């Protein structure tokens, strides 16, 4: 009997007053815009060839969903991170009472880990097997609720329900999958938005035996061993074979594991292979902010990217402005709040000059890097808090509050400034650097949307001044920097303001 899907969990990203700036801009969007522009140009050049760009775009849209590693509609994790020598085993469509328990025993005998992309329907029917998978140290991913082979042909409402319902079922086992594998590996243009809402990412595969859901298991191990290479994500199925016995399937799996060992291919956990968490424990579905997911992955390489890549021009300018301001910004007796502290690029310098820094960031992995740095320097006056500064309790009684290219992530900056005003001591200072709205900045916003799926807000000088004034700040100074020319007033705003000493009627709790 098929169990009905549970009621979908509430998704914070969709609730009024807490709307994320989700913007899943993909190569498909850019290709579509380019195709229409070429079409318009060719209408005046050769009307016979004008439809060709549109036809090419439609052809790409038709083919791309069936290419499991092509991120045309969304970013896809299709194999291990660069330099990874191991391989990862993944099993789809289960759990199956005939196959999965035997497979778990086999994995134990070979001492290898695996990731099980389970369907919500089967997980609800076989809870003991899900508990067994977890108790043996394996990870679990989301493979939709009903496993419709052509789920991607359905609308967003169905797609969202299929993913959320499975998340809800698995939350009952104390886990929240971060990785989603679409049925048959097929993607579409709607999937990225749904995954961003849930704080998830898409994982497909780079090596498989084309077993058609264990309908064809003959020479399965031989096919995989012939094709596998370092860094591969191997896709298999833990469901009963259609035209052979379970014993034969187990024999093929056993031959595969022995063959991988003989080839010197180490089987590693999927999260290690791809450098991303496949699942988390003890959280509720939908609680992960898309920005947290992105920066958790980036944390290890964040500092190198910030100072050794094209974005370094912005970060180096920010740090130079901050360094010049720092001596007059904080004193040894101050308590300082930093919003979006990240790995501590600015935090450590602040901590050396004040009594205490409260470092808030949405990414736990970024703050772990900050903690490592603080320990290395012997700094004990940094208090780290993981969470969304826009909605969490950030404390109060600060002499200084600052932020460096992090306010762009906030969905309601005027409301946040009003909250923040109440946390800063009367006469205290607010200092931040943020994106200035301009044509040059627009290109950066488009690039970020393609990379993170989030639209980072930029503001004009007048908007910043109006928001701060309405929130009880005075002595507001806003200056623009970087790429200033006759066509651009700069792409970076440096802002300093002082909290009004007499309580402002607009500054709420």
Catalytic residues: 92, 237
> What pLDDT sits at residue 3?
45
Q: Which carries the bigger pLDDT value, residue 2 or residue 201?
A: 201
Please count the CA atoms within 13 angstroms of the CA of 127 that sit on its side-chain side.
Answer: 9
Q: Identify the band that residue 20 occupies on the pLDDT scale cut at 50, 70 and 90.
A: low
CA–CA gap between residue 198 and residue 217 (Å, rounded): 35
Burial class (CB in 10 A: 0-12, 13-18, 19+), 93: buried
What is the spatial distance between Cα 509 and Cα 507, in angstroms, rounded to a whole number?
7
Calpha distance 266→111 (Å, rounded): 11
Say what the pLDDT of residue 503 is.
Answer: 57
Instruction: Report which of residues 173 and 284 the model is more confident about.
Output: 173
The dihedral of CA 329, 413, 27, 298: what is its sign?
positive
What mean pLDDT comes out for the span 468-472? Answer: 97
pTM given for the model: 0.88
Average pLDDT over residues 350-367: 97
Cβ neighbors of 150 (< 8 A, separation 6 or more) are 183, 184, 186
- Flag whether pLDDT at 15 surpasses 50: no
- The per-residue pLDDT for range 125-143, each reduced to its tens digit, is 999 999 999 999 999 999 9
pLDDT at 440: 86
Compute the distance between CA of residue 118 and CA of residue 166 in angstroms, rounded to an integer: 9
pLDDT for the residue numbered 268: 97
406 φ/ψ sector (left φ>0, alpha ψ -120 to 50, else beta)? alpha
Kindly state the average pLDDT of the residues 383-394. Answer: 94
- 298-356, pLDDT tens digit by residue? 999 999 999 998 889 999 999 999 999 999 999 999 999 999 999 999 999 999 999 99
Of 286, 272, 211, whose CA–CA distance to 11 is shortest?
A: 286
Q: Residues 266-284: what's their mean pLDDT?
A: 91
Instruction: Report the half-sphere exposure of 203 (CA within 13 A, side-chain side).
Output: 34
Look at residue 287 in the predicted model and tell me its pLDDT.
64
* Separation of alpha carbons 134 and 140, rounded Å: 8
pLDDT score recorded for residue 254 = 97
For range 90-118, the mean pLDDT: 97
- Give residue-wise pLDDT tens across range 475-491: 999 999 998 877 778 99
Percent of the chain beyond pLDDT 90? 85
Kind of pairing, strands 424-435 and 492-499? Answer: antiparallel
pLDDT of residue 12: 40
- Go through 211-225 and write b for each residue having 16 or more CB atoms within 10 A of its CB, e for each that does not: beebebbeebbebbb
* Local structure of 206: helix, strand or coil: coil
Higher pLDDT, 504 or 449: 449
Instruction: Using the predicted structure, report yes or no on whether residue 423 has a pLDDT greater than 70.
Output: yes
pLDDT of residue 8: 43
When the pLDDT of each residue in the chain is averaged and rounded to a whole number, the result is 92
Residue 468 has pLDDT above 50, yes or no: yes
Q: Are 55 and 35 in contact (CB under 8 A)?
A: no
- Give the model's confidence band at 439: pLDDT under 50 very low, under 70 low, under 90 confident, else very high: confident
What percentage of the chain's residues is helix, strand, coil (to nearest 5)?
Answer: 45, 20, 40
> Which residues of 48-158 form beta strands (DSSP E)?
76-77, 88-92, 115-118, 139-142
Q: What proportion of the chain, given as a percentage, has pLDDT over 70?
A: 94
Mean pLDDT to the nearest integer, 392-406: 96
Please report the domains of the chain, with CATH numbers, ordered by start residue: 17-24+74-285 (3.20.20.370), 298-499 (3.40.50.150)
Q: Please tell me the distance from the alpha carbon of residue 509 to that of residue 506, in angstroms, as a whole number.
A: 10
pLDDT, position 285: 67
């Amino acid at each position: 009997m098929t169990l009905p899907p549970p009621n979908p969990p509430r998704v914070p990203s969709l609730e009024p007053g807490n709307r994320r700036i989700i913007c899943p801009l993909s190569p498909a969007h850019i290709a579509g815009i380019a195709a229409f522009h070429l079409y318009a140009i060719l209408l005046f050049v050769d009307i016979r060839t004008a439809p060709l760009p549109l036809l090419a775009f439609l052809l790409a849209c038709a083919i791309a969903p069936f290419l499991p590693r092509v991120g045309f509609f969304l970013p896809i994790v299709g194999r291990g991170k660069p330099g990874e020598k191991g391989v990862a085993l993944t099993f789809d469509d289960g759990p199956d009472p005939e196959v999965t328990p035997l497979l778990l025993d086999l994995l134990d005998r070979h001492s290898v880990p695996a990731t099980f992309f389970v369907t919500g329907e089967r997980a609800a029917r076989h809870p003991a097997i899900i508990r067994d998978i977890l108790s043996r140290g394996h990870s679990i991913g989301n493979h939709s609720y009903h496993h419709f082979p052509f789920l991607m042909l359905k609308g967003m409402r169905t797609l969202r329900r299929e993913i959320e319902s499975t998340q809800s079922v698995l939350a009952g086992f104390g886990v929240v999958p971060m990785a989603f594998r679409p049925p048959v590996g097929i993607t579409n243009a709607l999937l990225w938005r749904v995954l961003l809402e849930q704080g998830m990412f898409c994982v497909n595969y780079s090596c498989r035996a084309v077993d058609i859901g264990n309908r064809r298991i003959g020479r399965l191990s031989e096919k995989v061993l012939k094709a596998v290479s370092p860094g591969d994500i191997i896709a298999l199925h833990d469901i009963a074979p259609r035209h052979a016995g379970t014993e034969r399937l187990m024999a093929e799996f056993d031959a595969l594991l022995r063959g991988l060992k003989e080839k010197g291919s180490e089987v590693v956990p999927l999260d290690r292979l791809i450098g991303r968490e496949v699942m988390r424990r003890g959280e509720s579905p939908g609680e992960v902010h898309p920005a947290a997911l992105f920066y958790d992955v980036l944390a290890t390489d964040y500092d190198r990217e910030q100072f050794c890549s094209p974005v370094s021009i912005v970060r180096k300018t920010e740090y130079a402005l901050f360094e010049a301001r720092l001596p007059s910004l904080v004193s040894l007796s101050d308590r300082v709040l930093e919003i979006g502290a990240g790995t501590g690029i600015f935090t450590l310098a602040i901590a050396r000059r004040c009594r205490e820094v409260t470092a808030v960031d949405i990414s736990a992995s970024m703050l772990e890097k900050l903690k490592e740095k603080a320990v290395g320097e012997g700094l004990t006056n940094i208090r780290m808090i993981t969470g969304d500064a826009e909605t969490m309790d950030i404390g109060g009684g600060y002499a200084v509050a600052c932020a460096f290219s992090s306010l762009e992530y906030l969905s309601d900056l005027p409301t946040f400034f009003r909250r923040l005003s109440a946390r800063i001591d009367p006469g205290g200072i607010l200092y931040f650097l943020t994106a200035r709205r301009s044509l040059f900045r627009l290109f950066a916003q488009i690039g970020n949307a393609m990379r993170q799926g989030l639209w980072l807000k930029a503001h004009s000088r007048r908007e910043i001044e109006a928001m701060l004034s309405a929130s009880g700040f005075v002595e507001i100074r806003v200056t623009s920097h970087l790429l200033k020319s006759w066509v651009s007033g700069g792409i970076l705003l440096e802002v300093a303001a002082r909290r009004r000493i007499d309580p402002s009627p607009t500054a709420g709790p």
